[in-house]
Amino acid sequence: MDNLTNLKAELQTRFSSVLPKKGHELHEIANFHFKDFGKLIRGSSALAISNAVNLNFEASINWALSVELLHNASLVHDDVCDKDSHRRHHLTVFAEFGSPLAICFGDWLVAKSFEHAVISINKADKKSNDAIILLSSVMADLSKGQAREFIGEPVLDWDSYSNLVNGKTTPLLAAAIEGPFLLAEADDHLDDIRNIIQALGMSYQISNDILDVLGKDGSSMAFNDLMRKAPNAVSITYRNKLKNGHKINFDKWMNNINLDSSINWSKEIKNNGALESCIRKLNHYLQISHHYRSKLPDALQDALLPIVTYLESTSKDMCPSYKKL
């Protein structure tokens, strides 16, 4: 395989080739959604890991496509559930085309994801269905994690938040990182890999939550999670720092959010140290991932660099006080 930059370019080219062609009912929507392919972190990681475990190119590229297709399906469905108007600094499919077509497009992406997973298994010439079982469990976990935001107890403490992340963010990383091991039938180091996935999942979600608070996540405004009562590491950390009376007032406001007082709460959350605490937590989980990554062969350590480098650079750039921590 060529270097990662070329692999990423190949992934984007292949991605474009599998999208609905002109005349297809979902062609316009696909072009709209994929005018920005995003960071392709999961697909790039899948390609790098595939290279490290000596998986052939066609098996690798199809698995990377499968992961990215499922990731984008989760984004489209997530925007419908959350009624989000912006993603990646653009209008969402939901905002532009409405719920019915957004759901149809998301379902199409899921179907194509499984199609390319099957192609990947065939190209790897493996009889095992472990990779498909992994992808199916990822889809099931994503659906369960999304549903948890709308039913059951609100996510107000760190344990509940960790459980949510493990059901909503970590599964797609597992598909990207663990999938190539299953396809190559490479069982060595899987325990360390799974510990790395858990740590990176927490790091990734905390990073996204901090970017949301700073208004740098591509949504329509800062504190978008707070305004729609969605779990967020920063607001949860802030709440846990409050004394009883102030915590009651915050909970009352969360149950009946109004924009008039949201500016004051937003300022408090940003200024009381919760942001810095979350950056420390992000780096704590990165250190855990480094610990387990150091146990791996050099090729596997290098293969994990795309996502680790992204998270480390994000943590350094997102908060002016980072260097003081």
At 240-299, the pLDDT tens digits run 888 878 888 888 777 776 666 677 778 888 888 888 899 899 989 999 999 999 999 999
**Backbone phi, psi, residue 90, to 5°:** -130, 160
For helices 233-241 and 190-214, give the axis angle rounded to 10 degrees. 80
Q: What's CA 286's distance to the chain center, in Å?
A: 16
The CA-based dihedral angle spanning residues 204, 207, 209, 212, taken in that order and rounded to the nearest 10 degrees = -130
The CATH code of the domain at 188-325 is: 1.10.600.10
**What is the per-residue pLDDT for 140?**
94
- The position carrying tokens 């993603």 is 87
**What is the per-residue pLDDT for 324?**
39
- Dist. CA 68–CA 282, nearest whole Å: 24
**What is the per-residue pLDDT for 150?**
79
**What is the per-residue pLDDT for 9?**
86
What are the respective helix, strand and coil percentages of the chain, to the nearest 5?
75, 0, 25
**What is the per-residue pLDDT for 247?**
85
- The position carrying tokens 């990681």 is 45
Strand partners, 91: 86
Residues of the chain scoring pLDDT < 50: 1-2, 320-325
Same fold, 1-186 and 188-325: yes
Q: Report angle CA 158, 39, 17 to the nearest 5 degrees.
A: 130
Domain boundaries, the chain: 1-186, 188-325
Q: CA-CA distances (angstroms) from residue 74 to 69, 179, 315?
A: 9, 18, 24
Q: Report angle CA 132, 143, 178 to the nearest 5 degrees.
A: 35
Q: Are residues 88 and 37 in contact, defined by beta-carbon separation less than 8 angstroms?
A: no
Q: Report angle CA 186, 66, 300 to the nearest 5 degrees.
A: 35
Q: What's CA 28's distance to the chain center, in Å?
A: 25
Q: If DSSP codes are grouped into helix, strand and coil, which group holds residue 221?
A: coil
CATH class of the 1-186 domain in this structure: mainly alpha
Q: If DSSP codes are grouped into helix, strand and coil, which group holds residue 87?
A: strand
Q: Are residues 29 and 103 in contact, defined by beta-carbon separation less than 8 angstroms?
A: no
